[in-house]
Structure 1
Amino acid sequence: MTTFYLAVLVFSGLVLLAALSSALAFRFGAPLLLLFLGVGLLAGTDGFGIEFDNDALTFYVGSLALAVILFDSGFGTSFKTFKTSAAPALLLATAGVVATAGLVAVAAALILGFSLLEGFLLGAIVASTDAAAVFFLMRIGGIRVMDRVSATLEVESGINDPMAIFLTMTLVSILSMNETGVQEILPMLLHFVQEIGFGLLFGVVGGGLTVLIANRFSLNRGLAPILVLTAALLIFSATGAAGGSGFMAVYVAGLIAGNRHVRYVGSIRRFQEGMTWLAQIIMFLLLGLLATPRNFPEIFLPAFALALFLVFVARPAAVWLCLWKFNYRPRETNFIAWIGLRGAASILLAILPSLYGLENAGLIFNIVFVMVLVSLILQGWTLAPLARLLKLVQPRASGALEIVDIDLHENAKHELLVYRLAEGAPVLDGASIPRWAIPSLVVRDGLSMRYFYAGNLKAGDYLYLFVIPGMSYLLDQLFADPALAANAGEEPLLGTQVLLPDRPLKELRAIDPTVAIPAGIEDMRLADYMKQELGGKPIIADRLHLGPLALIVRDADAEHNITSIGVWRDAASERPEGPLRSLSRFFGRLRRRVRR
């Protein structure tokens, strides 16, 4: 029992130290997950001397932690976000992972002398973007990038792990059996189809059952999060036991459940956020304890060279190949390419060669560990500055003070926001609040009153609004000090110019000659095109990106016919070109030539 108490004391102390280190991350903008990993390294065999070498335990615990993270990622992704970026994100998560792995395989063969199959294994291990690393770093950096970019990253990082895991498991199995013949290709493909198919099937069914369990058997608010979490782990384990991808299933289940009405959803989200943090801390601590830094110097230079190749060549090339036909702006593609951070998932997969007894297992683990460290340091510390440099940050001069968790009946979808009105805010001067934002309550001088009885809004008021999820950032500038909001990086709520809805699409070239209009519809009415692309029911402040232009619904009638259109042209396109902008424009011209 003394040993047990000591083990619990040490591990809980490490978890507490890792959690407290988050203060450093928020203070200095450091990659938070790097600090978690650093605590594990500091406590490990080459630090304070804790001996830990249980590869199997680390892999199994890490897999469960990753399942919890993926379920939470899916639970927090709206169908609108998923639909917006499903095609490019799916391509990045499949073809992009394979392309990245293939390019790293060639580099590993040249730098390390690996066979192409061993190099491909190394590439598969580091090919996926770590979802938690990306969004934790964006949260710490205080940035919120443009919708299309964040949606693509969110969906890609949520669904690319199954592809990387499948490739790694398959290659490890082949290398362990020394079977590399062509006859193995067909069984591999069939196994992949089975994993993805079962993953989707179990995920859809499991997501529906999760909603049923949460709504029918949740007797109190405290029990609901436990039921949902255990249902997620049940889906993960049942899918894996049936021969499917448990990681795919648990993400899909989270996506299904998160977009349905679930009782006590506020409590569930708060609980899952805490569990996700705990899963990240435990996973990175164990991975840090497992590492032996004294072995890093002998492989540091080749691992560092591979990390640079992955960051500057393999990932950007794969991203450009996957996104060139989706009309992303060059700076958006550049940011997506740069933000491909590697994290715990890659280190976790690097344990598999050891479990299968491969010859270069230790070498592969150490190389991957160094590559993840380089990625977290190089990309993690520059993520926020690059987003601002590329003008991809959403206006946040005066964002919501709080998002209040509420449980609405059935399929109602709104979130409750709290704003504090700044002196001189546009809404105080008569700017209209969009109809999809419903003011409910005003708190003035410590007293609460209904919005319709509060009279004219005043500076310092706290305003509570019900808002459609995902639209809140567009309200920020209404309640901000205009002096803070007046910078070139902010996009006006309803645009700076007004277009007639009956005009043809081709007239957009008068605003920007570089805008790419889909062939065959140049004479289509602007209003009809926007209504079609926005799903048939546009509302005020809905926006549609077309190259450098953002087309915005300024007004619509009861039948959802657009009666006024605003347009916003990215001010960055008028600025003098720097080296990065010149490179972006070069790739943009190259992409258009390839299309023609």
Structure 2
Amino acid sequence: MTETNIILFVVGLILFLSVMASALSRFGPPLLLIFLVCGMLAGNDGIGQIGFSNVPVTYFIANLALAIILLDGGLRTPFKSFRVGLRPALSLATAGVLVSASLAGAFIAFVLEVDWRYGLLLGSIVASTDAAAVFSQLRSTGVTLNERVSATLEIESGTNDPMAIFLVTFLMTAIGNDAPFELDTIAIELIQQFGIGIVGGLALGTALAWLVARIPLVEGLYALLIASGGVMAFTAINQLGGSGFLGIYLVGLVIGNRRNQATEHVFRVMDGLAWLAQAGMFLLLGLLVNPSQIWADAVPAFLIALFLIFIARPAAVYVSLLPFRFPIREQGFIAWVGLRGAVPIVLALFPLMAGLPDAQFLFDIAFAVVLLSLIIQGSSLGGMARLLKLEVPPEPEPVAAFALEGQRGDSYQLLGYRIESASIMSGAGAAPLHRLADIRVAAVARRGRLILPKTGFTFAFDDLVYLIAPSQARHDLARLFQGETRDPITQPNRFFGPFTIHAEAPAAEFARLYGITLNGEEAGLTLGRLVRQRLRRRPVTGDEIDLGRIRLIVRAITDGMISELGLQLVEPETEREPRG
């Protein structure tokens, strides 16, 4: 019994110290790197002196953790992101992984002087980006990216595992059997992985969403129902020969886009489960490695990491995104966010469990590459986004949101907003709220007191105002309570320009007003269609074009079409390359 208590205490202590150390992530180090280092310090070569070498247990826990992380990522991905990011993300998840693995494999075979099949195997292990690393870093940087970039990165990281897993297992089989590659076998296996993963994920996700919407449960049990159902879907799809990782991501996607009374609570609980899964997985992977061996392989690992970061990944991104007309800045950032994390380490466990010769060496190199990727790329995502001018004003959100049961035309929510110092609500009555329809003030929290406002009530700075409002009004209300700020990124008028133009305005009249020359076809378009035509790609918020000294910036998109444009007057000395 004493030994059990000691083990539980040590596990709890490591997890506790890792979470406390995560406070350092705001100063630069990626959170996942902190968990990984804490695991290494607790291991056999570290101060903790914990001897752990159970590869099958690590593989089992890592698969379970990745399943939970991908489920949570799918839950938070809106369907509208797929309109913008699905095709480029799938290109990156297939052709991109293949290009990256091939280039890295050739380089590894040359640098390490190993058989080209081993080089390609290690290249395939480290080729795919990692969902845990990408989801975690994009959320923790505090940077809001335009939808095209963020959607492409998140969908890619959630869908590129099948290609990497296929390449690794196929190469291991070819090495073990000393058999040549057969193209028809490769094609069949790929179709099976993606086909069963997609069909199984969508079908089981739809069934689970239907079940969640109809079974009355205690609020805290909905997240457990979704998590357990998602894990069962993951295993079932794997058993059928498909990609469980792709399947469980799609399960989360379907459920997350079918809102119900428990949705907000599910998000909060799943967020905690995902963080626990990430922490536990990276701690365990850190325990498994010997830092002294990593140090011995530091030079080749450093060269491989640099090749992946500066040559293989950028080449894969360029080839994969060539048909989609991504601006060069966006391509550069997507190339930089080729974060390696748990997935390459888990893939490196495959040769260990199969007893492949030199499997330990492959694992050590893969682990070192992941460490360097997290240090070099993970610590600089926010700075790189700002350097490439890809940051857009974040969409303001309520500080609290609760779904209301019952039907009344549109869906209604109880929303909470904090009155900021720049808001016109500070020192005002309810008149500004009358601009929006069907808004009811429920209560106001002021300095610890709960107030039920009556006619003539005056709001004050820092009040927390609870409103009953239609769901679609949440962002308009958030902008009202936030007000204007001086930050050029969080201040929409500074980013989009001081003037707002409706996208349905005739381009010809606009051109006459500002002395702009348009060709005959463009003169017959609306401004929104003119911008879309000049961009030659699906527009997202923040895209822009220059018309002489006028810069038009996409400010709002409704149902995939540009609805509002911002206008800036560009002075000669401030001219620059458009962000779009």
Same fold (TM over 0.5): yes
TM-score normalized by structure 1?
A: 0.82
1:134 counterpart residue number = 134
Pick the aligned partner of 1:406 from 391, 403, 408.
Answer: 403
Residue 423 (structure 1) shift: 2.8
Q: Secondary structure at the match of 2:297?
A: helix
In structure 1, C-alpha distance between the alignment counterparts of 2:163 and 2:305, rounded to whole Å: 20
In structure 2, C-alpha distance between the alignment counterparts of 1:196 and 1:269, rounded to whole Å: 27
In structure 2, C-alpha distance between the alignment counterparts of 1:468 and 1:114, rounded to whole Å: 63
1:306 counterpart residue number = 304
Contact 1:213-1:227 at 8 Å conserved across structures: no
1:459 counterpart residue number = 461
In structure 1, C-alpha distance between the alignment counterparts of 2:205 and 2:347, rounded to whole Å: 26
Q: Which amino acid letter does the alignment assign opposite residue 241 of structure 1? A: Q
In structure 2, C-alpha distance between the alignment counterparts of 1:235 and 1:128, rounded to whole Å: 23
1:389 aligns with 2:391: no
How many equivalent pairs are there? 561
Residue 30 (structure 1) shift: 2.0
1:67 aligns with 2:64: no
1:77 counterpart residue number = 77
Q: Which amino acid letter does the alignment assign opposite residue 208 of structure 2? A: T
Q: Secondary structure at the match of 1:142?
A: coil
TM-score normalized by structure 2?
A: 0.84
Contact 1:502-1:525 at 8 Å conserved across structures: yes
Residue 504 (structure 1) shift: 4.1
Residue 269 (structure 1) shift: 1.6
Deviates more, 1:215-224 or 1:65-74: 215-224
Q: Which amino acid letter does the alignment assign opposite residue 64 of structure 1? A: L
1:503 aligns with 2:506: yes
Q: Secondary structure at the match of 2:416?
A: strand
**What root-mean-square deviation, in Å, do the aligned CA atoms of Structure 1 and Structure 2 show?**
4.1
Which deviations, in whole Å up to 9, do the C-alpha atoms of 1:208-231 show, x marking residues without a partner?
A: 221232233343213222211111
In structure 2, C-alpha distance between the alignment counterparts of 1:510 and 1:101, rounded to whole Å: 54
Q: Secondary structure at the match of 1:566?
A: strand
1:217 aligns with 2:215: yes
Q: Which amino acid letter does the alignment assign opposite residue 525 of structure 2? A: M
Contact 1:489-1:571 at 8 Å conserved across structures: no
Deviates more, 1:191-200 or 1:412-421: 412-421
Question: Quick one: structure 1 residues 528 and 391, their matched pair in 2 at CA, closer, same or farther if it must change by over 3 Å?
Answer: closer
In structure 1, C-alpha distance between the alignment counterparts of 2:533 and 2:473, rounded to whole Å: 20
Identity across aligned pairs (percent)?
A: 36
Q: Secondary structure at the match of 1:325?
A: helix
Question: Quick one: structure 1 residues 262 and 474, their matched pair in 2 at CA, closer, same or farther if it must change by over 3 Å?
Answer: closer
Q: Secondary structure at the match of 1:567?
A: strand
Unaligned runs of 5+ in 2: 535-539, 547-551
In structure 2, C-alpha distance between the alignment counterparts of 1:174 and 1:512, rounded to whole Å: 67
1:277 counterpart residue number = 275
Contact 1:218-1:227 at 8 Å conserved across structures: no
Deviates more, 1:291-300 or 1:543-552: 543-552
1:193 aligns with 2:196: no
Residue 402 (structure 1) shift: 1.7
Residue 32 (structure 1) shift: 0.8
Residue 412 (structure 1) shift: 6.6
Question: Quick one: structure 1 residues 218 and 123, their matched pair in 2 at CA, closer, same or farther if it must change by over 3 Å?
Answer: farther
Residue 256 (structure 1) shift: 0.7
Contact 1:417-1:467 at 8 Å conserved across structures: yes
Question: Quick one: structure 1 residues 562 and 239, their matched pair in 2 at CA, closer, same or farther if it must change by over 3 Å?
Answer: closer
Question: Quick one: structure 1 residues 60 and 483, their matched pair in 2 at CA, closer, same or farther if it must change by over 3 Å?
Answer: closer
Residue 89 (structure 1) shift: 1.4
Pick the aligned partner of 2:553 from 527, 550, 554.
Answer: 550
Residue 367 (structure 1) shift: 0.9
Q: Secondary structure at the match of 1:287?
A: helix
In structure 1, C-alpha distance between the alignment counterparts of 2:572 and 2:127, rounded to whole Å: 33
Contact 1:393-1:489 at 8 Å conserved across structures: no
Residue 117 (structure 1) shift: 2.4
Q: Which amino acid letter does the alignment assign opposite residue 313 of structure 1? A: I
Q: Secondary structure at the match of 1:145?
A: coil
- Listed as ranges, the matches of 1:221-240 within 5 Å are 221-240=219-238
Q: Which amino acid letter does the alignment assign opposite residue 7 of structure 1? A: I
In structure 2, C-alpha distance between the alignment counterparts of 1:477 and 1:138, rounded to whole Å: 23
2:32 counterpart residue number = 33
Contact 1:105-1:123 at 8 Å conserved across structures: yes
Residue 550 (structure 1) shift: 2.7
Unaligned runs of 5+ in 1: 534-541, 589-596
Q: Which amino acid letter does the alignment assign opposite residue 105 of structure 1? A: G
2:177 counterpart residue number = 177
